Chains A and B, each alone.
Chain A
Amino acid sequence: MLSVAICGAGGLGTRHAQNFRDIPEAQVTLVYDVVEEAAAALAGKVGARVASRESDLFGDEVDVVVVTTPTPQHAYFTIKAAQAGKHVLCEKPMCRTLEQGEEMLEAVRAAGVTFMVGHVVRWFRQYARARDLIQAGEIGEVGVARTSRINTMPSGRGGWFRDYALSGGVTLDMTIHDFDWLLWTFGPAERVYSVGAQRLMPELDYALTTIRFESGAIAHVEGSWADTGAFRTCFDIAGTGGLLRHDSTRMSTLTLQRRAAEEGRVGVQVPSSPAFRSPYMMEDEHFVQCVLTGEEPAISGDEALDAVELALAAMQSNEAAGEVVELS
């Protein structure tokens, strides 16, 4: 039985804690958060103890530390945990700076622990399916791949998502999902050019990024924290032999409507696409399997850092206004 400690009891900490509670080979034993009430509330929900001190995370009874703090703290907790011999599941983006990422990789390698970054889109089946189709040559050589990931401006506890210095804005925090998928699917990027509106944070952030891959493929990546509606994604991937397209707003298998029954209560329509196992659950199950068997996680630390590098390059291009950033 793996003993799992959750570090950061916010949105993603809650999601992972609930998953690990439900995985037979794992058990959530500790929850840590700088906001003690947050830790207590989550601990209560999943039947764990509240870690009263940070150092509890690295005690003998813990096997796995799940790092779900805001991004700038990922490195600190990952390194500490690895040095204490703990396996680490760290939320994406892996880190806020490349230096942090290098240090994280060094620490987990030196410790020989299992380390994975939560690029959960690899378990979203539409993205996995599209990649499989591309790899099988079903649409020939890809010429132009377009992706969009669109949301309202998130907040996070204390509003940290709205601080560009902390979250990196939409490009590092959210578009990184597409960067990871594109790198996974098309291989290394050669150069990147990006324009956007991060100067308008904290009201909104929006960026349009063009990537040229060494394979020759061109990607156009839209990241939006400027929307007013529900979270949505889409892609449109054109090749010499065909076209792949997916639009999350058109793939709801179930829609529930509520008629405005009482005075002052609005009717709502909630579309959804329920699945027996959520992508987050599949991700966490995979991680548990890797820890138990010693097998390499599907997402290597190097790949996670490559995605950060691409995101930071796009941000650099954007900030410099008109700079084409070459990738090493």
Chain B
Amino acid sequence: MATRLSIMSFAHLHADFYAGAIAALPDVELAGVWDDNPQRGKDAAAKYGTEFFSTPEELFAPENEIQGTIVTSENVKHKRDVLAACEAGVHILCEKPISTNVVDARVMIAEAERAGVQLMIAFPCRYTAAFGQLLRAVRNGELGEIIAIKGTNRGQNPGGWFDDPSLAGGGSVIDHTVHVVDLMRVLLDQEVIKVYAEIDTAFNPALPCDDAGILTMNFEGGCVATLDASWSRPGNYPIWGDVTMELIGTKGNASVDLFVEHVDTWRSGDGSYLWEPYGDDANAALIAEFAECVATGAPVPITGYDGLKAMEVALGAYRAAETSEPNDLPLP
């Protein structure tokens, strides 16, 4: 029997990527959709040839045999949806950031544990071939001790609820810190113990949230790192943004540019210039792994704790920016 997954909310645009990935996987099925915006949910259900349910309880009704669910609601609603899945005994893949505060994240992790369901966090960058190869090189000691990492996760402002701190929990810093911090944690196998940041609303002064952030981090083993978590790419930039890291090691250096693979594309019709990407589909690999864990009971490789530790750095960065002082982690 195919593994039966569902999607809770199409608020996040990644929901479409995940639904597409499910459709492409042979042994996985999109068995239902729920959304607190019924029209959006119905449209998605129609598009992906599945059923729309008007409450989480109906979605998780026993006859639907939902085994796992993907939570792609607005950040502040992750907790609500994760707890509903826990209640129903359904495994969860939750979009990043896990939540918008430490208390909610801890509740989500504890509830999943109590319910005996797995809580995985969507960090698809881990599923690129380039990162996998970098990780092997680092673990084999090819770079020696990693002493510094310079990271960027710059993008265009996604707009919509991402600009609303009451739904997103912040702006570009909460949106763009966690992916690269997660990669750094995996590479170093260490936690961030101190974070400093300069954060501002720089590119669109009318926004109610931040759109520029430069973070500086100290890892417990002595490695230092910076991360550009800004929505600094203009609207006519040829791609949504980037995820890059440069590693400086005692024996060598490495750099990754995860989404650089593209064909330069000029369309004379609309005067556009775009990067048409052809690289790995990290989202598909992420969904495949989640479905596999749901089917076999294997432990998910990216846990709620990973989600919490990455989010903590973003929250610490906001505190640091407010006080213009570095902030110690973990947060109390």
Contact residues of A with B, CB < 8 Å? 141-144, 146, 191, 193, 195-197, 200, 203-204, 206, 208, 210, 212, 216-218, 220, 222, 224, 226-228, 238-243, 321-322, 324
Contact pick for A206, options B148, B202, B211, B326, CB 8 Å: B148
Given contacts A200-B147, A226-B253, A322-B194, contact A220 B228 (CB under 8 A): yes
CB-CB < 8 A to B224: which residues of A?
195-197, 208
> What separation, in Å, do the CA atoms of A240 and B202 have in the docked complex?
7
Beyond contacts A144-B202, A212-B198, A238-B230: 14 other A-B pairs, Cβ-Cβ < 8 A, are: A143-B212, A144-B228, A193-B196, A193-B216, A195-B148, A195-B216, A203-B250, A208-B216, A210-B196, A238-B154, A238-B233, A241-B234, A242-B234, A322-B218
Contact A200 B250 (CB under 8 A): yes
CB distance from B184 to the nearest CB of A (A): 13
> What separation, in Å, do the CA atoms of A260 and B147 have in the docked complex?
37
> What separation, in Å, do the CA atoms of A141 and B225 have in the docked complex?
27
> What separation, in Å, do the CA atoms of A143 and B205 have in the docked complex?
10
Contact A224 B214 (CB under 8 A): no
> What separation, in Å, do the CA atoms of A222 and B149 have in the docked complex?
11
Q: Does B203 contact A (CB under 8 A)?
A: yes
CB distance from B240 to the nearest CB of A (A): 14
Q: Does B325 contact A (CB under 8 A)?
A: yes
Contact B228 A143 (CB under 8 A): no
> What separation, in Å, do the CA atoms of A212 and B225 have in the docked complex?
18
Given contacts A220-B226, A228-B253, A324-B325, contact A197 B214 (CB under 8 A): no
CB distance from A147 to the nearest CB of B (A): 12
Contact pick for A204, options B216, B232, B237, B248, CB 8 Å: B248
Contact with A along B180-202 (1 / 0, CB 8 A): 00000000000000101010101
Query: Which of chain B's residues has its CB closest to A191's CB?
Result: B324
Q: Does B252 contact A (CB under 8 A)?
A: yes
> What separation, in Å, do the CA atoms of A146 and B230 have in the docked complex?
12
CB distance from B175 to the nearest CB of A (A): 15
Contact with A along B237-248 (1 / 0, CB 8 A): 100000000001
Contact with A along B121-148 (1 / 0, CB 8 A): 0000000000000000000000000011
> What separation, in Å, do the CA atoms of A238 and B200 have in the docked complex?
13
Q: Does B272 contact A (CB under 8 A)?
A: no
CB-CB < 8 A to A197: which residues of B?
147-148, 224, 248
Given contacts A195-B218, A240-B205, contact A218 B200 (CB under 8 A): yes
Sort chain B's interface into a size bin. 20 to 34
Contact pick for B253, options A146, A196, A227, CB 8 Å: A227
Contact residues of B with A, CB < 8 Å? 147-148, 150, 154, 194, 196, 198, 200, 202-205, 211-212, 214, 216, 218, 224-226, 228, 230, 232-234, 237, 248, 250, 252-253, 324-326
A interface, over-half SS:
strand
Contact A226 B248 (CB under 8 A): yes
Contact B196 A324 (CB under 8 A): yes
> What separation, in Å, do the CA atoms of A212 and B224 have in the docked complex?
19
CB-CB < 8 A to A200: which residues of B?
147, 250
Contact A224 B248 (CB under 8 A): yes
Query: Which of chain B's residues has its CB closest to A148's CB?
Result: B150
Contact B150 A208 (CB under 8 A): yes
Cβ-closest 6 pairs across A and B: A143-B202, A238-B232, A195-B224, A208-B226, A218-B198, A143-B212
Contact B214 A144 (CB under 8 A): yes
Contact pick for B203, options A195, A204, A226, A238, CB 8 Å: A238
Contact A210 B216 (CB under 8 A): yes
6 A-B residue pairs with Cβ-Cβ distance under 8 Å, sorted by A, are A196-B148, A204-B250, A238-B233, A240-B202, A240-B204, A240-B205
CB-CB < 8 A to B216: which residues of A?
193, 195, 208, 210
CB distance from A22 to the nearest CB of B (A): 38
CB-CB < 8 A to A143: which residues of B?
200, 202-203, 211-212, 230, 232
Contact B252 A238 (CB under 8 A): no
Contact B200 A239 (CB under 8 A): no
Given contacts A193-B196, A222-B150, contact A324 B326 (CB under 8 A): yes
> What separation, in Å, do the CA atoms of A224 and B249 have in the docked complex?
12
> What separation, in Å, do the CA atoms of A195 and B252 have in the docked complex?
19
Query: Which of chain A's residues has its CB closest to B236's CB?
Result: A242
CB-CB < 8 A to B226: which residues of A?
195, 208, 210, 220
CB distance from B236 to the nearest CB of A (A): 9
> What separation, in Å, do the CA atoms of A248 and B300 have in the docked complex?
43
CB-CB < 8 A to B252: which residues of A?
228
Contact pick for B196, options A203, A206, A240, A322, CB 8 Å: A322
> What separation, in Å, do the CA atoms of A204 and B143 have in the docked complex?
14
The interface centre, meaning the residue of B150, B196, B205, B214 with most chain A CB atoms within 10 A of its CB, is B214
CB-CB < 8 A to A193: which residues of B?
196, 198, 216, 326
CB distance from B122 to the nearest CB of A (A): 26
Contact pick for B326, options A222, A226, A228, A322, CB 8 Å: A322
Contact B212 A144 (CB under 8 A): yes
CB-CB < 8 A to A220: which residues of B?
214, 226, 228
Contact A146 B228 (CB under 8 A): yes
CB distance from B289 to the nearest CB of A (A): 33
CB-CB < 8 A to A196: which residues of B?
148, 224
> What separation, in Å, do the CA atoms of A67 and B202 have in the docked complex?
42
Query: Which of chain A's residues has its CB closest to B323's CB?
Result: A324
CB-CB < 8 A to B326: which residues of A?
193, 322, 324
Contact pick for A216, options B147, B202, B234, CB 8 Å: B202
CB-CB < 8 A to B147: which residues of A?
197, 200, 206
> What separation, in Å, do the CA atoms of A208 and B248 have in the docked complex?
11
Query: Which of chain B's residues has its CB closest to A218's CB?
Result: B198
> What separation, in Å, do the CA atoms of A193 and B216 have in the docked complex?
8
> What separation, in Å, do the CA atoms of A240 and B225 have in the docked complex?
26
Given contacts A195-B218, A210-B198, A228-B252, contact A324 B324 (CB under 8 A): yes
CB distance from B72 to the nearest CB of A (A): 28
CB distance from A37 to the nearest CB of B (A): 36
